[in-house]
Structure 1
């Protein structure tokens, strides 16, 4: 049995029906291989600019997330020309993605609970017009390459490029590029250590797990 359904009774039946309905509603736009748990908030003015790969999970209820989440999955494209690409086997738990220009997420990316990604500042920086003006808002695309693991409650800001296989520690604020095969953590996120570069498969998985444990140990 899927470990997400360890609870039983009426609650289980209710969630199964709810998930079936939302998977059916979004199948035409996101594909039949996407798995929706809970009720996401998807606001997309132009679905032609959204690409979602195979095996993507959107988890919008704490019953389906081991650490719990603070809000449903939020995917919001802020205009008709904004573009979003999500690769294969990506998991999003209570995360948020707001796109003004473009956000690209590669294959096999793990977004920890409540991770938020945006390519815009949302407001101008100058004090005299930041509350009421949409002019001079800084925006730069975000690129997250394959096999990246972003720890829960992290924030990925505009213009960031995270290289493949890298790990972002929980609660980090990432405002600068992260090279491939590195661990970064903190606010603002800084370099922690290099990840071992080895073969794909079980050995690579073991190295990645060891690196994640090291990040958690140093943070505690």
Structure 2
């Protein structure tokens, strides 16, 4: 093993351990305007506009989560995450309007949230199309399997479960299990 590999290995282990790096990360985000609740574990994440992020208490955010928000000048947090929320590795929030995640939600790795899309008028170039946006809402105790995609205007009701690899294009009532591309109702949650 080369010296460079040893250094990289040690850095990765240091980076995931709570301690000085965790404290510094949270402090820097708070200084830049983010609201981070007590006991929230926040490893290596990407937050271009921290003032748009509000994290509740005792959340666990795994490494390489990307919080992207396009409305820099919008006042107040547009990405609001409740208490005791788990967000898995490599999840991406591509937000233009807003997203609210309730308490006790579980979001597995690799999920993507997109709350906007472009129009498709045939007489205009694609880069001049208007942006259509609608907020995404996850109520309390929602569970998303790995690699889910949640699109604009979707509301996932309390206790909803979304199967891995699903593309959610419409709202899901409380307590239902949905899966597929596009996601469809499978059954009522137990």
TM-score normalised over the length of structure 1: 0.70
Give the aligned partner of residue 20 of structure 2: 20
Name which of structure 1's ranges 184-193 and 89-98 shifts more when overlaid on structure 2. 89-98
**8 A contact 1:52–1:88 mirrored in 2:** yes
**8 A contact 1:124–1:130 mirrored in 2:** no
Aligned length: 172
- Cα offsets for 1:155-187 (capped at 9, x unmatched): 000000000111000000000010000000000
Do structure 1's residue 75 and structure 2's residue 81 form an aligned pair? no
Shift of residue 105 of structure 1? 0.3
Corresponding residue SS for 2:20: helix
* Distance of 2:101 and 2:170 partners within structure 1: 16
* Distance of 1:19 and 1:33 partners within structure 2: 12
**Unaligned segments of structure 2, at least 5 residues:** 1-8
**8 A contact 2:22–2:41 mirrored in 1:** no
**Unaligned segments of structure 1, at least 5 residues:** 1-8, 61-71, 197-220
* Distance of 1:32 and 1:160 partners within structure 2: 29
Give the aligned partner of residue 3 of structure 2: none
* Distance of 2:186 and 2:176 partners within structure 1: 7
Shift of residue 11 of structure 1? 5.7
* Distance of 1:34 and 1:85 partners within structure 2: 14
TM-score normalised over the length of structure 2: 0.81
Corresponding residue SS for 2:79: strand
